[in-house]
Amino acid sequence: MKQIIVNADDFGRHRLMNAAVEEGLHAGCLRSATIMPGGAAFADAVRIAKEHPELGVGIHLTMVNGNPVLPPEQIPSLVTPEGLFWPEHTTFVKKYFLGQIKMRELKMELTAQLRKVQDTGIKISHVDSHQHMHTLPGIIDFVLQLAAEAGIKAIRIPGTPIKAEEAELNSVGQLIGRAGLATLAKMAALKAKHKGFVMPDHFAGLVAGGAVDAATLRHICLSMPEGTTEVMMHPGVDNKTLSKETQWEHDYEAELHAIVSPEVMLVLQERKIKIGNFNSLV
């Protein structure tokens, strides 16, 4: 049996991202999203989730490039002087391994993020994180503990091959980054499996910043192995606005077009590939 889980990350970060989730539900193969607890459009994402029970909603734990849930003064090591998380994973990882990120503060913030989502009444399908920070040593252990205590049984393992067919690695830095993530993912998977968590068998999606366009998604579907494959995506409406407001030059529209592509839907139908979410793994 083959199953695809197309997951929209950053659900709740912006209304234009939320609109893409709704369109992907109505007209495409999207059945999974992970909600960003500190997102500006969090309440709107909760509304969409409650109106669409077919959407599996995970929690997108956020430690970088976003807004904290707790007051900044309670978590000073996690935030900039402006009260925002550090802008990208490189800064966070460096500070983390230098001991400049206080684990007590990180645990407080992640616990608060989980409680914020729980308080909405949404059933949390799985856990993942913004820029895959949950795979870091030490953090993965706490995330697994937090998830287990909340009854969450599924987790993302971002185990993209070092040189995936759909990826264009344009620098040594991208190659090193992908290799590092692959190593962290293997370690995280071992710990998660040991504690009884479930996860998709395979992972796809461009972790180096590129978009999964319709041709790429069609190729993924055509070459899918047996089992469940998660495809990480960041769909959105209006690239210009989103790129400006998220400070990320990403082709959000291309990913939405891929999700609703008739060619992709036809391949899924012809190959009898089930469209699912993380709830189907439990």
Higher pLDDT, residue 182 or 227: 227
DSSP 122: P
The mean pLDDT value for 227-234 works out to 97
Confidence category of residue 206, pLDDT binned at 50, 70, 90: confident
Task: Flag the least confident range among 1-5, 19-23, 133-137, 157-161.
Answer: 157-161
Task: Flag the least confident range among 189-198, 209-218, 226-235.
Answer: 209-218
- Cβ 118 vs Cβ 152: under 8 Å: no
Confidence category of residue 69, pLDDT binned at 50, 70, 90: very high
Closest CA to 7 of 109, 118, 129: 129
The pLDDT of residue 79 is 98
The Cα 205–Cα 6 span in angstroms is 10
For the chain, what is the mean pLDDT?
93
Tens digits of residue pLDDT in 86-99: 998 999 999 999 99
The pLDDT of residue 162 is 45
Structure tokens at 134: 């949950």
pLDDT for residue 243 is more than 70 = yes
Q: Where are the domains of the chain?
A: 2-281
Structure tokens at 75: 């978590």
pLDDT for residue 209 is more than 90 = no
The pLDDT of residue 13 is 98
The pLDDT of residue 180 is 77
Type and span of the H or E element at 265: helix 262-270
Structure tokens at 252: 């959000």
pLDDT for residue 172 is more than 80 = no
The pLDDT of residue 174 is 53
The Cα 221–Cα 206 span in angstroms is 15
The pLDDT of residue 161 is 62
Higher pLDDT, residue 207 or 279: 279
Closest CA to 231 of 255, 265, 267, 248: 255
The pLDDT of residue 177 is 59
pLDDT for residue 176 is more than 70 = no
Tens digits of residue pLDDT in 4-26: 999 999 999 999 999 999 999 99
The pLDDT of residue 167 is 46
Give 223: exposed, middle or buried? Use CB within 10 Å, 0-12, 13-18, 19+: exposed
Distances in whole angstroms, Cα of residue 47 to Cα of each of 12, 17, 128: 10, 14, 21
Quote the percentage of the chain above a pLDDT of 70.
Answer: 93
User: Does pTM top 0.85 for this prediction?
Assistant: yes
Type and span of the H or E element at 126: strand 124-129
Residues in the chain: 282
pLDDT for residue 204 is more than 80 = yes
The pLDDT of residue 227 is 98
CATH superfamily of 2-281: Glycoside hydrolase/deacetylase (3.20.20.370)
pLDDT for residue 164 is more than 70 = no
- Cβ 9 vs Cβ 273: under 8 Å: no
